[in-house]
Each structure stands twice: as C-alpha cells, then as structure tokens.
Amino acid sequence: MAARQGPYKLVKIGGGTAQLFDLTADIGETRDLAREQPDRVEQLLKRLQDWNSQLIAPRWKGAPPTKYRPPFPPPTKPTNAGTQ
C-alpha cells in the first residue's frame, strides 16, 4: 500500500518495512528517507491505517486454482531439412 502527502510518498508492502520518498527530489524513488524522518513515517502510516480500516472487506475469496498449461507448444529442435 502507499500513501502520499505533498511531495512525500510512503510505501509499505505486506509486513515489510515502510519506505519514505521525497518525489520532488527523488522521482525515481531511490533514496529511502524513513530513518531520517521517522515522525513523518508514523504520521503517514497512521493515515494509511485509518484509510484501510474504512474499506469494506472483499467479497471474493481469491482466484480459483488453475492447472498450469504452457501458452504455446514446446519448442522443437531445429532440423537440417532443406539444407545441404
């Protein structure tokens, strides 16, 4: 999930550590500012959790299981047919 406030973007994937980026200075999101700005991380995490708690639980239980089937037939070995 992600939250944005002004130039700051907080990203938290699953149970992983939250990352904070300043999109004005780092549009490529390469420099994590979470350790330098823990108060901002906590503020954005709270906003994200508040928003998430207001969502309605999904009605689906996930995708049904499917059997793996390659989309194309397996490749064949080249032959020397037609060459001399």
pTM reported for the whole predicted model: 0.65
Rounded mean pLDDT, 68-74: 71
DSSP, res 7? T
What percent of the chain is predicted at pLDDT more than 70?
A: 92
Rounded mean pLDDT, 50-68: 81
Cβ atoms of 59 and 45 within 8 Å: the answer is: no
The predicted structure's pLDDT at residue 45: 95
The predicted structure's pLDDT at residue 20: 98
pLDDT band at 37 (very low <50, low <70, confident <90, very high): very high
The predicted structure's pLDDT at residue 84: 60
The predicted structure's pLDDT at residue 81: 67
CA distance 82 to 84: 7
Q: Which CATH code for domain 2-53?
A: 3.30.1120.10
Residue ranges per structural domain of the chain: 2-53
